[in-house]
Structure 1
């Protein structure tokens, strides 16, 4: 056991006000902060470019820099929650997020918006990093995998409804209304966290610098780091779709903002059903093989996107579905596998998980924002390339002795 931690009572913390169902709902909303903070305003990106008379590449910085600074922020929130507790860190992050969202709505130019989005991004790291730490605090074994699957599935509702709600907000008001809604969401979740009982069983007695130094300890774990790299690679093509979807559907295929939101929501639907079907799929195929299959399917899906997907929005959407579905169905076992590689240092583990996924996703967003003649074809090739690379890496490390075989 880590000597920097104080042993707490073995009895699990009960949620006096939220209850266990309420805790799961809260974890879900905390986990959904990123899709809520990005997908809700995706339909507004073309209109924001017109409003500020700015190039799309400059407007895209409100998205790209959001992910980069979210990744940086998530690195320190997790270890700090090991020292000061999950609840206190959540409250600090949520108050900062709510204030930054209101300031985004009041931005007078694109540079102010970018600056406030950076603050909003750093604060978002507290929500998502601590959410996964709460899951590990509160559940273990198969129960944790079930909760991860349920939370992942519920979280994926956000990408379905967020663009639709964003388009409705745009029909009633300007893009500024989107950030007002985000501020109100932040305020409501802050009230829920106030009602939450602290979940951490062991608090770090180390200094702040020593707590942050636990990131280095976790980074030396070969099992965790090899899995982290393998599972994070697919964030590159996935986030390339998130950041470019409005331009593809609205500008390239000529759809309206409202119709675009329906296409985006349809793809996100398969993110929801994937984790729900995961628990049933383990009866027929082992999770280790399921992960392998997911990479093969993603590769085939990428080939379809880059060939037939360029023809119409319908073919593009249908070609993307297999990769989306298989990526979501393997998310719970891959997350649980990474969590099990390190005993203790939960905050550092989840921070590195959030950081890696976001950094790789940001790479995808930057790549797709370059001046390509056909973004759809490029995206398809990205799926093929990174699915093949992930498959090769998974085949190599899944049998290594230093990787805990907790999902076989």
Structure 2
């Protein structure tokens, strides 16, 4: 099969793929969605050292995270309609090339201000990969099969947050934070080559929608007016914000407050990612036996409860042996929340999968981007702000789900 072949004339084309074909799609699409966790997690061990190297306050260094997350959300608003208009491949290849260029700029940034700007540009490039990956899954699958493939995709992408801080910590033994961004540029180069050679076009010419501004805005408004879609999108965004709060603040909390060195921190951080991977695979096996709504509700209840336990542990200063397991449970709960909420959000919109994927992404990352300034606002001298915000975001996600994502009728 050549890269230019169109393979998805309908949303159930994935059922006709061979096992090898599914594995190939999972690896490539997993690599594309890994842009986010790799670009966020790999340089986390270097954040305290970066602050000293660039003579910048911790709050400014954390803005490099916020800039990436907000850029990732905004970039998807552009990439989504373009992928619906021109197919999946062209916007993807341009986006990955932009990611490579911006990663090089990050590596050579002489100031924190330039680094923040380069990170936003890097995120715009990464956005194309994330949008196209989700839209391609919707092109190929529907229903329970789509939820299962999203779970399989999270297995591939789940390896990224496990390995990224470990790789980043080990790279710091031989290079500086600049070398980490050089490694990200190299990863982008490999993915650009693989995508160009092995990823086929999955959106037929007859299914494409013109990328006119008026039409794009009407599409986004129609999605936002769809109660179940908006509720699922808010659930995804708030649940991810709970996890991103940990991603954003854990480097300072675990190293500056609890005294872990960069290497120990990278392994401690990886523990939560292992839980996330396990939970996504448990979810993949449970989908079909239990309803997607039921699994989603269970994940949200578990994350909210664990967030409350973590907050109590932080206030009572019970130490890492009590705090970390509760935090890990908050993180891994997303393995049950994200695939099911994403499948519920996209199931009713096969004709505008790119735009739906983009809107899911922008809400997810814009909401998550608000967590970094909140952490800075409440201070970094204690773990309490981090875990309290994690609990609050999950509680809001549970509220959004219960009030907006209503069950379908038996006939539907």
Contact 2:233 2:345 in 1 (8 A): yes
Equivalent in the alignment of 2:327: 320
Q: Which of 229, 239, 257 matches 2:234?
A: 229
Q: Deviations over 1:315-347 (max 9, x none)?
A: 221111222222212321111111113241111
Structure 1's 167 and 281: CA in aligned 2 closer, same or farther, altered over 3 A?
A: same
Contact 1:302 1:379 in 2 (8 A): no
Equivalent in the alignment of 1:193: 195
**Structure 1 unaligned residues grouped into runs of 5+:** 1-7
Structure 1's 405 and 48: CA in aligned 2 closer, same or farther, altered over 3 A?
A: farther
The offset of 1:211, in angstroms, is 5.0
The offset of 1:237, in angstroms, is 2.2
Matched, 1:142 2:147: no
Equivalent in the alignment of 1:5: none
Contact 1:97 1:119 in 2 (8 A): yes
For structure 1, which segment, 346-355 or 233-242, has the greater mean C-alpha deviation from structure 2 after superposition?
233-242
For structure 1, which segment, 20-29 or 77-86, has the greater mean C-alpha deviation from structure 2 after superposition?
20-29
- Report the Cα distance in structure 1 between the residues aligned to 2:410 and 2:116, rounded to whole angstroms: 42
Matched, 1:209 2:209: no
The offset of 1:94, in angstroms, is 0.5
| Total equivalences in the alignment | 397
The offset of 1:284, in angstroms, is 6.1
Q: Deviations over 1:139-189 (max 9, x none)?
A: 223322221110012211100000000011110111110011000000000
Equivalent in the alignment of 2:39: 37
Contact 2:67 2:117 in 1 (8 A): no
Q: SS at the partner of 1:172?
A: coil
Q: Which of 2, 22, 25 matches 1:23?
A: 25
Q: Deviations over 1:352-395 (max 9, x none)?
A: 01111101111122211224265421233223333333333322
**Structure 2 unaligned residues grouped into runs of 5+:** 1-7
Q: Which of 361, 385, 395 matches 1:388?
A: 395
Equivalent in the alignment of 1:244: 249
Q: SS at the partner of 2:370?
A: helix
Equivalent in the alignment of 1:334: 341
Contact 2:301 2:398 in 1 (8 A): yes
- Report the Cα distance in structure 1 between the residues aligned to 2:339 and 2:209, rounded to whole angstroms: 31
Contact 2:311 2:391 in 1 (8 A): no
Equivalent in the alignment of 2:4: none
Equivalent in the alignment of 2:310: 305
TM-score, length of structure 1 as denominator length: 0.91
Q: SS at the partner of 2:285?
A: helix
- Report the Cα distance in structure 2 between the residues aligned to 1:180 and 1:382, rounded to whole angstroms: 33
The offset of 1:106, in angstroms, is 1.1
Q: Which of 276, 281, 284 matches 1:271?
A: 276
Equivalent in the alignment of 2:62: 60
- Report the Cα distance in structure 2 between the residues aligned to 1:207 and 1:257, rounded to whole angstroms: 46
Structure 1's 345 and 286: CA in aligned 2 closer, same or farther, altered over 3 A?
A: closer
Structure 1 residues 71-82: aligned runs within 5 Å: 71-82=73-84
- Report the Cα distance in structure 2 between the residues aligned to 1:301 and 1:405, rounded to whole angstroms: 36
Structure 1's 398 and 115: CA in aligned 2 closer, same or farther, altered over 3 A?
A: closer
Structure 1 residues 142-161: aligned runs within 5 Å: 142-161=144-163
Q: Which of 290, 296, 301 matches 1:296?
A: 301
- Report the Cα distance in structure 1 between the residues aligned to 2:59 and 2:186, rounded to whole angstroms: 29
